[in-house]
Amino acid sequence: MPKISTKRGDSGETSLVGGTRISKSDLRVETYGTMDELNAVIGFARSICKDAETCSLVKVIQGELPTITASLATPNNSQKVPAPITTEMVDTLTAHVDRIEKTEGILFHWSLPGENSVSAAFDVARTVCRRAERLIVRLSETGIDIDPNILPYINRLSDLLWLIGRLIELRNVHKISNE
């Protein structure tokens, strides 16, 4: 059985895909670590969400995030080539954004986070997503090649997470007013 605790990181270094060792304080590590955090926060939001359609959509997205994380954790000179982030993945997120934006009342006003715990959890996920986006931009500005579809994917995902929060709030208002 593989061991979780290898003790190789005790010196403050970690391995990138392909085995290159770098400091745990490296911007690349912070960036892909934030992607891991994003997936965990989205998972928490999904765990408290009761809407089956939203949960299904979010679970698919969670399955795609490790591809982005792996791409960010792979140095340019690695023998291992990460799976691509496809335009279809970005287009799918865009289609979900477009679909939810058409919901009547969804863009009525800017929301104050915390109307309910589920929408608040998606708002937290959105802020982590925006932080990941800023880190990806910083990483690309250092000269590291970034898959060209990563930034559009993350930008669209943050839009979608915000809209999911608003959709949950809207559905919650209608449920309350119909009782």
Long-range contacts at 145-152 (CB < 8 A, ≥ 24 apart): 145/76, 146/71, 146/72, 147/68, 147/71, 147/82, 147/84, 147/85, 149/84, 149/85, 149/86, 149/87, 149/89, 149/90, 150/68, 150/71, 150/72, 150/85, 152/90
For domain 15-174, give the fold: Hypothetical Protein Ta1238; Chain: A; (1.20.1200)
Q: What is the mean pLDDT of residues 122-142?
A: 97
What pLDDT is attached to residue 9? 58
Phi, psi of 13 (to 5 degrees): -115, 160
pLDDT band for 179, please (50, 70, 90 cuts): very low
What is the pTM (predicted TM-score) of this model?
Answer: 0.88
- Could you tell me the residue ranges of all domains in the chain? 15-174
Q: Which residues pair with 21 in a beta bridge?
A: 15
Tokens of 121: 């959890």
What pLDDT is attached to residue 148? 96
Interval 102-131: pLDDT, tens: 998 887 666 677 779 999 999 999 999 999
What pLDDT is attached to residue 38? 98
